[in-house]
Structure 1
Amino acid sequence: MYIQKLVAIANGWNLAINGEPLVSAAPQAWKNGPVFRQIWDFIKEGGHKGPNCEIADPVTGQIVTAQINGSEQEIIDHVWKKYRNYTPQQLSDLTHQANSPWAHAYFEKGRNAEIDPERTRQYYIKLALAGRSHAEEEQALQTAGRINAA
Structure 2
Amino acid sequence: MPRHSPSSIANEFLKRRGSSEYPSQMYIQKLVAIANGWNLAINGEPLVNAAPQAWKNGPVFRQIWDFIKEGGHKGPSCEIADPVTGQIAIAHISGSEQDIIDHVWKKYRNYTPQQLSNLTHQANSPWAYAYFEKGRNAEIDTERTRQYYIKLALAGRSNLAEEQSLSAAGRINAA
Q: TM-score, normalised by structure 2?
A: 0.84
Comparing 49-58 with 30-39, which one deviates more in the overlay? 49-58
Partner of 1:139: 164
Residue 120 of structure 2, aligned match among 75, 90, 95:
95
One-letter amino acid of the counterpart of residue 67, structure 1: H
Separation (CA, whole Å) in 2 of partners of 1:122 and 1:144: 33
Q: Deviations over 1:8-44 (max 9, x none)?
A: 0000000000011011010000111100111111111
Residue 83 of structure 2, aligned match among 53, 58, 71:
58
List, as ranges, runs of 4+ consecutive aligned residues in structure 1 with deviation greater than 6 Å.
Answer: none
Partner of 1:45: 70
Separation (CA, whole Å) in 2 of partners of 1:46 and 1:66: 18
Partner of 1:111: 136
Partner of 1:126: 151
Q: TM-score, normalised by structure 1?
A: 0.98
Residue 57 of structure 2, aligned match among 15, 27, 32:
32
Query: Percent identity over the alignment?
Result: 89
Separation (CA, whole Å) in 2 of partners of 1:8 and 1:48: 19
Separation (CA, whole Å) in 2 of partners of 1:101 and 1:136: 27
Q: Which segments of 5 or more consecutive residues in structure 2 lack a partner in the other structure?
A: 1-25
Q: How many angstroms does 1:67 deviate by?
A: 2.1
